[in-house]
Copies of this chain bind each other. A is one copy, B any other.
Amino acid sequence: MKIQPVKGTRDFYPQDMAVRNWLIDGWKRVSVRNGFEEYDGPIFEYLKMFQIKSGDEIAEQLFSFEDRGGRELALRPEITPTLARMVNQQINSLPRPIKWFSVPRLFRAEKPQKGRLREFFQWNIDIIGIDDVLADAETIFCALDYLKEAGLTPDDIVVKISSRKVLAELLKSIGIKENQLDALYVVLDKRSKLPDEAFEEMLAERLPDENKRGKILELMAVESIKQINDCLELSKEAEESIKELSRLFELLDAMGVGDYCVFDIGIVRGLAYYTGIVYEIYDKASELRAIGGGGRYDNLLKLFGGPDIPATGFGIGDCVLGILLEEKGLLSKEISTGRPEYFVAFTDQRYIQKAVEVTSKLRLAKFAANFSYKPVGLSKQLKQASEQKVKKCIIIGSEIENNQLVIKDMATGKQELVKIEQFLTQIES
């Protein structure tokens, strides 16, 4: 019976797995050097948990199911609700700030498209317990530390940054009411994703007042923080929030990643729960979806029944990032599925058990070692060894009757006859 894989999922053959490991190991390594500790939660949780932060609409994007006890469960579409649940559970014993990262496998029941699959990995970084914009800067730095190490330059990618606080103050200053803001964010978030006409139509639906709409369009055309001052008269709160945003850019400059970062008032993020700095990372050519995004969400823990503690963080998926790295030629060079240090060859089938014995001794001494299952001639085995790019080849031949074996250095071609005892003592030490 032949069966297909499910659409939107991936098979990771060894070469694909090597790429996935290379990506994820990079995320882990950079997270750790930035002072983050790894955590993870279950693949499935109660369905209702995923609706707290993202509303009921998220249910349409979920793979959900009932267990035998009739509980409504769902495969996680994101890790943030789990993070909130876990932190709240141990809020009194966790030292702060909580600097955690995770590389969860996530699931969304969406139509598979380029850069969007039903099953993917996402790098998540969060700092909980710091309301200083320095924490936002550190998360952005951490993302860029990885992307830079992967070989992406400011010619390849850009972090577009804005502030929900700034936007809220500016919108209020042109007469938008506090309780209209969340609905408006959803529309403004669509601006760069829609043709101008469609966007303006959508905006008009939400906001009938033409005068206010004009001011919003003017505001959304602002290209620098400085320009905001020319465009509007600022309240004290607006000035404060602009100062904070400016400090973020200063910090990113001091951190040495300022050249990747620009202010973009069009970055809004659709979700209601962002409260401060927001950002998205794009390929410079804007040909792909966002590589990742994040921001400050000071109400998160409270939303999940916990205390009022500030938080900021981001998520970067593996699909768009993988496509970009591939396009830029940054994937293939470094990645291999593993290279053994030793290949143990035999000159005659009689010696295969001895070859297996030596291979096993090498492995127990923590060396990667291979032998050939096929009893082919020595020259073919040496060819295999050379294809596998091993450093040294051990040859078991008639010398074994005198307890000796041959060690061939594959780089220099030099061969050496060594007592087996001596060789084994050497590798074990």
Contacts and interface: CB of A to CB of B under 8 A. Distances in A.
A414 to B, nearest CB: 24
Nearest to A40: B12
Contacts of A367: 33
A97 B373 contact: yes
Nearest to A142: B363
A312 interface: no
A43 B105 contact: yes
Contacts of A43: 9, 43, 75, 105, 107, 119
B5 A134 contact: no
Contact of A46 (B6, B11, B41): B6
A30 B44 CA distance: 30
Given A11-B42, A361-B256, A340 B35 contact: yes
Contact of A21 (B38, B75, B107, B357): B38
Interface in A129-179: 130, 132, 134-135, 137-138, 141, 145, 148-149
Given A14-B37, A254-B353, A304-B3, A9 B42 contact: yes
B366 A149 contact: yes
Contacts of A354: 254
A249 B238 CA distance: 78
A256 B64 contact: no
Given A251-B356, A353-B254, A368-B32, A17 B45 contact: no
Interface string A57-94: 00000011101100101010000011001101110000
Contacts of A352: 134
Nearest to A372: B97
Given A37-B14, A100-B14, A4 B373 contact: no
Interface residues of A, number: 92
A217 to B, nearest CB: 37
A369 interface: yes
Contacts of A141: 360, 363
Given A9-B45, A14-B38, A17-B38, 11 more contacts: A13-B90, A18-B38, A32-B338, A35-B369, A37-B337, A43-B105, A97-B373, A135-B373, A145-B360, A145-B364, A256-B357
Interface of A: 1-6, 9-14, 17-18, 20-21, 30, 32-35, 37-46, 48-49, 52, 63-65, 67-68, 71, 73, 75, 81-82, 85-86, 88-90, 97, 100, 105, 107, 109, 119, 130, 132, 134-135, 137-138, 141, 145, 148-149, 250-251, 254-257, 303-305, 337-338, 340, 352-354, 356-357, 360-361, 363-364, 366-370, 373
**4 shortest interchain CB distances as A-B pairs:** A9-B42, A65-B65, A2-B305, A14-B37
12 contacts: A1-B304, A2-B88, A5-B42, A5-B45, A14-B100, A44-B63, A44-B119, A63-B67, A67-B109, A145-B363, A250-B353, A257-B360
